[in-house]
Structures are given as structure tokens and as C-alpha cells.
Amino acid sequence: MIKTSRSGCKINWYLKVTGKRENGYHDIVTLFQYLETPSDTVEFDFAAAPGIKVSCDDPSLPQDLDNLAGKAAQSYALAAGISPCWRIFIKKEIPSAAGLGGGSADAGTVLRMLEEQYGLLGKEKLLEIAAKTGADVPFFLSPGLVLAEGIGEKMTAFPLPEKLPPFLIIFPGFPVSARWAYCNMAKERITPAQENIAKELLSALQGNEISALAKLMHNDLEYALFDKFPLLEVLRQDLTLSGALRVMVSGSGSSIIALFPDKEARQQAAEKIKELLDDPVSAVFELGE
């Protein structure tokens, strides 16, 4: 039996690092936004050869149990007492190591597909497996507009806004690992989150208050990326000159979010950036209304 599911991505409208634990993990406050574009496609064969086989149309990515989706599938099989005969194929559209949660999205989608197929674990156990698989994986079990705290495991869901403001996601053509971004963040940036920030962000999103949202957007990880990678700074300057109200790295990067006052400004900026990024690996996504 073969089933297929789309696996969307995420951006972070806000990411504040508030502490570092003895085990090396960081405490954060972040506002996740689920997006249906760009998205991967996960094809799952539940009656394949014995074992767990994971492959991808991007041969540079990990395969089988080295892939986050494979790790999630193995954890489900062990917890459910299943002898797996599974083949998973992932068609990539979400750039890898881009701060958009592509690997986590695929892993979360695999867990959801397995639970829909077998129904053996329940919500709490599934969340436990997701959290052990990766910090962002629990979000993709029931993605939407979510405030995440702790290391990302404490989640509060909110109603999605009726529409999103006009913005671009720009993948510059190179990856950045989350580990690098956190390791190179200046320690003095680890401070408490702004008081009432979640309420203000949600109000700006729900009310489509673009100028207010632009002022509230924040990412503690972006400073190291702009210092390290000159192309990101060039993109920020060009996007700002093209009318962007805020240009910010999403998550641990390398993708950039650029927020615009209207669709016309966004479209004109997208055309300029596509000319600048003369690289078949880079990508520009136009989203929002």
C-alpha cells in the first residue's frame, strides 16, 4: 500500500534565545508559522521489503536511518512493536539546512502517516518520539501558528491569520547548520524575551498590521550569519532598497524572510533578487497577500 503526503515548511517570525542548558541545548522563545509552500512530498510504501529504506531525489542528503525521517520511522516501529517493511521516498522542494525545517517537516510527516496507518501510539507518545527525533519535529505533528518555548517542546497553538502579509523567502544557495548558528551566536544575546512579545506578535499577524509586525520581528541567530556570509548582507541591503520593511534570517538560516508593504513591491523585489542570484540551487518564493 502506497500513500503520499505533502510536507510543508516553517518560518520563525521571532526567535529569542533565553538560556543555555548544561547539555548544550538552548532555551528559546519562538513563533513558528507553518507554510504550505515550499513543501516536500513524502511517498510511503507500507508493504515493501523488510526494513526501513529512505531515499530522496537529492542524493546529497542522508539516506535510510541517517535521514531524520528514517530515524522517526525506526522510533515508531520500536515503540509500536512493528517489524517494518517500509520504503519512504522524499521529493525535495524545501531547501536543506535553510532554517525552514525541511528535515523536521519530513520526519513529522512520516510520524503522522504512520499513526494514521496503524493508530498504535496516541498523541502523547507520538509527541515524545517527535521531541527525541529533533527539536522542531513536534511542531510538524500539528503545524499552524505556534509559540514554542523551552527547547521547543512547550507549544501553544493559536488560530492562523486569515491572510499573511506579502513577503519573500530567499534561499541563497548554500546551507547553514543549526549547530553552527547556535555555536557562533554571541553569548551576550542570551537574554529574556521581551515582555508581552507573543501577544503583540499575534495581534500584528491577526490584524495584518504589517508595519507593526516588521518592528517586532527578531532573530538572535541572524547576526552571526550576516557577519559570516557576505551574500546575506548584500541581499539584505538590496531588499531594503527595494522596499522591504524588514529583512531577517529565518530560524538558523540560511534563508531570508523579507516583509513588504504590498504585493507590487514584493514582486519587483523578487525579480531583482532572481537576477542577482544567478545560481540554479538558489530559490525565491513569493508568499502572502
Residue with cell string 507554510: 35
In the residue annotation, 10 being an active-site residue is answered as: yes
Give the separation between CA 286 and CA 289, rounded to whole angstroms. 9
In the residue annotation, 163 being an active-site residue is answered as: no
Helix, strand or coil, per DSSP, at residue 219: strand
Give the separation between CA 218 and CA 19, rounded to whole angstroms. 16
Of 40, 106, 136, 220, which is the active-site residue? 136
Burial class (CB in 10 A: 0-12, 13-18, 19+), 225: buried
Contacts of residue 175, defined as CB under 8 A and 6 or more positions apart, other chains included, come to 95, 96, 97, 98, 254
Q: Which three cell numbers stand for residue 231?
A: 551574500
Of 3, 10, 64, 92, which is the active-site residue? 10
CB 87 within 8 A of CB 69: no
Contacts of residue 92, defined as CB under 8 A and 6 or more positions apart, other chains included, come to 40, 56, 57, 58, 61, 102
Nearest to residue 282, comparing CAs of 252, 249, 255?
255
Instruction: List active site positions.
Output: 10, 136
